[in-house]
Structure 1
């Protein structure tokens, strides 16, 4: 059983939004590298002369050489805004659902915790993540092409094009599945570790402890949900796949099963520190607001 302090919905929203903004700005370069690594196997990417990378390190070197250090933040604006909003929605929804699922003694079983995380991630994916990541992925895909073949001058131009194509929710199925799985695994892992630590020490977790627990939750989340992330990225990068299942079959058939974990290294770096930052900032903001 897990017994939790009841926080006001506004506190969860504010703490989650701030935590998401800090986390997004701090980890965006790894998200850029992960997306570039995932896109390079798609047909449209190769057709338009996109750069191929042997490793995340070679991708990093090429990006800095071609576009400078600021090139590591290409597409940051929609990602930063989306990250802040989705974290706010995620924590607000998760905490609200948890309160509804508690028993009459105020306890929350592990299955109900998993259910709360799954529902929170699914709602987050539908309302925020799908449209913001569609724009982010297009911008990164465009940035990977030779300068003469790039189509977008910025996020607003990309938004207009994606809107005209009615592609803001393209790949929404795998996005919802990935976010649901992410939140389910991440929250359950973090809250379980937090419960164990609090039970052992008899004290609330500190910011440093939340940082470490968040890193552990990030590692578990990456390897459990990576295939969904790869499929989502391929579908948003181009319109060459009709469904998530067809996309997954194409990837496995043409590139092998290991391609479903392509980009895992930069995503691991991102989600380790993402989990560490978002949970530690969230815990500290909640303490301040109480």
Structure 2
């Protein structure tokens, strides 16, 4: 009679788990799809705050003084003009953010793989370079035209209300300014997105690596990943807010050049626009 030998199954070692993690790395298409879905969800949830931020960055219009507190601004506008008013331009931003996030992660992963050493590792400088490259690419392919439409729609909602939809605004801009009208503020957007992606990606990757070194494990829970992402996001906002303010001014309905935008912001609000 044959003898059956049962060999106890030993738990996978840390090295084995690391290898599995490496093998399970997302493909470029996977990065594009995952980034797009995450970006669309993020834009949908946080849009009222994005609306308030953009509104506060636009130049004041005659007879239209906004509250300085963003939460109060959202509340006042929603009660006076309806909840739909604080979602002006939301569709354009959600579509643009989905595309932007997909392009960002696809570009970042691709550049990271190109810059990695023979062990597949990246130092901080190379992470920053990968982030800057991803930011520049997303600014050209996705961010500038969709941010232009979003900003025009928000600016439009507090004035003469020329446009009733993002589609109408897009058509009018192309008819009046040509296709390049959608790319108003391109240079400031490239600077802003390059800085944003460089800081966010570099900081987030460094935080994950530091966490792994301190604890001996990679961030493997939603709570830890959320906390690291929140820290990276907060640092990114403080580091890049000036670029974002200039970008918004350049993409408003009237539009301002970079030099004019800088002068007007400092004239209206001083060196620090933190309201």
User: The TM-score by the shorter chain falls in which range?
Assistant: 0.7 to 0.9
Structure 2 CA distance, aligned partners of 1:254 and 1:7? 47
TM-score, normalised to structure 1's length? 0.81
Q: 1:97 to 1:52 in 2, by over 3 A?
A: same
Q: Larger radius of gyration, structure 1 or 2?
A: 2
**Structure with a larger share of its residues in helix:** 1
Say what the alpha-carbon RMSD is for the aligned residues. Answer: 1.8
Other-structure match for 2:116: 102
1:186-225 correspondence to structure 2 within 5 Å: 186-205=200-219, 206-225=221-240
**Deviations 1:64-121, CA, capped at 9 Å, x for gaps:** 1122223222211111111111000000000000000011221111100000000101
SS of the residue corresponding to residue 104 of structure 1 reads coil
* Count of aligned residue pairs for this structure pair: 250
**Corresponding residue number in structure 1 for 2:172:** 161
Gaps of 5+ in 1: 263-290
Report Cα offsets for 1:206-265 as digits up to 9, x if no partner: 222111101000110111000100000011113352x31332123213432123x45xxx
2:131 paired residue number: 117
**How far did 1:202 drift?**
2.5
Query: Residue 186 of structure 1 contacts residue 218 of structure 1 at CA under 8 Å; is this kept in 2?
Result: yes
CA contact under 8 A between 1:51 and 1:144: conserved in structure 2?
no
1:33 to 23, 47, 52: 52
Is 1:258 the counterpart of 2:272? The answer is yes
- Deviation at 1:155? 1.0
Task: Give the conservation status (yes or no) of the 8 Å contact 1:174–1:232.
Answer: yes
Paired position in structure 2 for 1:175: 189
Q: Distance in 2 between matches of 1:257 and 1:201?
A: 41
Distance of 1:240 and 1:64 partners within structure 2: 26
Instruction: Identify the match of residue 232 of structure 1 among 241, 244, 247.
Output: 247
2:37 is matched with which residue? 18
The Cα shift of 1:182 comes to 0.4
CA 1:240/1:138 → structure 2, altered by over 3 Å: closer, same or farther? closer
1:150 is matched with which residue? 161
Q: Distance in 2 between the 1:179 and 1:142 partners?
A: 24
Asked whether 1:77 is paired with 2:91, we answer yes
